[in-house]
Chains A and B, each alone.
Chain A
Amino acid sequence: MIHLSHWDLALSALLVLLLAFLSGRLQRQLRNQILVAALRTTVQLLLIGLILKWLFDIAHPAFIGLISLVMLTVAGREVMVRQGRRLTGWWSFGVGTFSMFLSSFAVTLFALWVIIGNQPWYAPQYAIPLLGMLLGNTMNGISIAMDRLTQSAWQQRQQIEGRLMLGATATEAICDLKREAARSGLIPIINAMAAAGLVSLPGMMTGQILAGAEPVEAVKYQIMIMFLISVGTGLGTLASLALVSRRLFDERHRLRLDRLHVANDDRRAS
């Protein structure tokens, strides 16, 4: 594997600066967002590189559990800030985090125990990257679906209450909106599976090949990951939608839009 020098990284950073300059002429805010995001990528990835190196050396389950929790919390916060109208109180963070915990952790544990079966099962070389990929993807699905459901409930209040007035239950009244939200949460992973290999070469597989792995072996891993990601995203999205739609109604099946914050236009695009 060919090592990258600092100069190689600096060259690609120069390209990002060029992009920031060009988009800054359109909108200054966009330029700042690009620069901040690029800086975050650099710092965060360098840090996680150091942490992983340290973690691989120690390989103590307590530290692996701790870093998993940190990853989960950050992902939960990320879901929360991407919501246009998020649930009030701890609900937005809680629903997102709980759904990701449920799906990502369950699927990762299943992969480690049943499919890969390495010794020990928590070996961080497998556990952390798997969990990371699952969290990253379920995070996208969940935040898109939750955002879609709360936005459409807000906009289509008349329709939802119109159904309630005709004697529909809360579940019946929000059923269509929930279905649409599930669709938008799952479309990215469906597209990724459909286009894999034809349009895009998925990142993990590409990484393994660059590192000198046998392509067919890398492909097998990638297929498994794709399946795990789609299951994790699907379960997480459905769980979060079930929780959000329950929270949108009270015990007398009234639509409670007062449980949503007013519009948050500063949210980052997901």
Chain B
Amino acid sequence: MSHSSELFRVQGLAVGEIGPLDLALQPGECVGLSGASGSGKSRLLRALADLDPHAGQMWLDGDPAAALMPWEWRRRVALLPAESAWWHDTVGPHFPDAPADAALAALGFEPAVMDWRIDRLSSGEKQRLALLRVLTLRPRVLLLDEPTANLDRDNAGRAEALIRAYLDESGAGAIWVGHDQAQLQKVAVRCYRVEADGAVRQDRAA
């Protein structure tokens, strides 16, 4: 039922009043998802990562979600939440695999950052480190929940560039939730909007 080169397909995805969401991603594609605060964008992302019970179906590389173990699905369709969670004392143990020095440098970190203490990190540092952490999973689809909300303009630009480079190099796709229309126009090939009634519509190309 899916096109042979298709990366990710979502059909009728709904959580509670929100949805249904239908979309398809080609390799390397990034789509935007916007909507007012509290409209349910984050809940849709959680459902895409299969963290909440939901209606509808999803396929990754032609395989239905049910064919993958839940932890495999979440490694491949990886969610970067708006507020990242940290539970060890230092940065290093949170990383499934050590990030490349080049990736660290791309976001303005030195390798010694792995020994930094979590309670001394600023919200912007946490957000950049959480992005590096999710990229070490090498996901097929990135679910980004306002990934640059706590970053200054320079760091936001670096984060955008790092994500773009990852998509180009790996052929992964991304769904980018954001408020900043100008940013979404820049990073996404097309945009969806969650309306007040929970319906999801594709924005007409601007």
Cα A159 to Cα B94 in complex, Å, equals 11
Inter-subunit contact B71/A169 (CB<8 Å): yes
Inter-subunit contact A158/B83 (CB<8 Å): yes
- Residues of chain B within 8 A (CB-CB) of A161 are 51, 81, 85
A167-B96, A254-B53 known; A162 and B84 CB under 8 Å?
yes
Cα A250 to Cα B75 in complex, Å, equals 18
Inter-subunit contact A167/B51 (CB<8 Å): no
Instruction: Say yes or no for A6: interface residue by CB 8 A criterion.
Output: no
Inter-subunit contact B84/A167 (CB<8 Å): no
Q: Please, what's the 1-or-0 string for B70-109, where 1 marks a CB less than 8 Å from any CB in chain A? A: 1110110011010111110000000010000000000000
User: CB within 8 Å of A: which residues of B?
Assistant: 49-53, 70-72, 74-75, 78-79, 81, 83-87, 96, 133-134, 137
Closest chain B CB from A91 CB (angstroms): 18
Q: Which residue of A lies closest to B95 (CB)?
A: A166
Question: Could you list some 19 contacts between A and B, CB below 8 A?
Answer: A156-B87, A161-B81, A162-B81, A162-B85, A164-B71, A165-B51, A165-B81, A166-B96, A167-B75, A167-B96, A167-B137, A176-B87, A250-B53, A252-B70, A253-B70, A254-B51, A254-B52, A254-B70, A255-B51
Residue from the list A165, A168, A250, A255 in contact with B49, Cβ < 8 A: A165
Inter-subunit contact A158/B50 (CB<8 Å): no
Cα A168 to Cα B137 in complex, Å, equals 12
Inter-subunit contact A162/B52 (CB<8 Å): no
- Residues of chain B within 8 A (CB-CB) of A253 are 70-71
- Residues of chain A within 8 A (CB-CB) of B78 are 165-167
Cα A255 to Cα B53 in complex, Å, equals 10
Q: Please, what's the 1-or-0 string for A146-165, where 1 marks a CB less than 8 Å from any CB in chain B? A: 00000000001011011111
Cα A163 to Cα B50 in complex, Å, equals 14
- Residues of chain B within 8 A (CB-CB) of A168 are 71
Closest chain B CB from A38 CB (angstroms): 44
Closest chain B CB from A251 CB (angstroms): 8
Cα A222 to Cα B83 in complex, Å, equals 53
Closest chain B CB from A54 CB (angstroms): 53
Cα A162 to Cα B78 in complex, Å, equals 11
Inter-subunit contact B87/A167 (CB<8 Å): no
Q: Which residue of B lies closest to A159 (CB)?
A: B87
User: Quick one: which of B51, B74, B75, B83 has the most chain A CB within 10 A?
Assistant: B74
Closest chain B CB from A37 CB (angstroms): 39
Cα A156 to Cα B50 in complex, Å, equals 19
Inter-subunit contact A254/B87 (CB<8 Å): no
Inter-subunit contact A167/B74 (CB<8 Å): yes
Inter-subunit contact A167/B71 (CB<8 Å): yes
Closest chain A CB from B140 CB (angstroms): 13
Given contacts A158-B85, A254-B70, 8 further A-B contacts (CB under 8 A): A156-B87, A158-B83, A159-B85, A159-B87, A162-B87, A165-B134, A166-B96, A167-B137
- Residues of chain B within 8 A (CB-CB) of A164 are 51, 71, 74
Q: Please, what's the 1-or-0 string for A237-270, where 1 marks a CB less than 8 Å from any CB in chain B? A: 0000000000000101111000000000000000
- Residues of chain A within 8 A (CB-CB) of B75 are 166-167
A159-B85, A159-B87, A161-B85 known; A167 and B72 CB under 8 Å?
yes
User: Quick one: which of B71, B83, B84 has the most chain A CB within 10 A?
Assistant: B71
A161-B51, A250-B53, A254-B50 known; A166 and B84 CB under 8 Å?
no
Cα A156 to Cα B74 in complex, Å, equals 19
- Residues of chain A within 8 A (CB-CB) of B96 are 166-167
Q: Which residue of B lies closest to A253 (CB)?
A: B70
- Residues of chain A within 8 A (CB-CB) of B72 are 167
- Residues of chain B within 8 A (CB-CB) of A162 are 81, 84-87
Inter-subunit contact B79/A165 (CB<8 Å): yes
Cα A161 to Cα B198 in complex, Å, equals 24
Inter-subunit contact A166/B133 (CB<8 Å): yes
Closest chain A CB from B164 CB (angstroms): 22
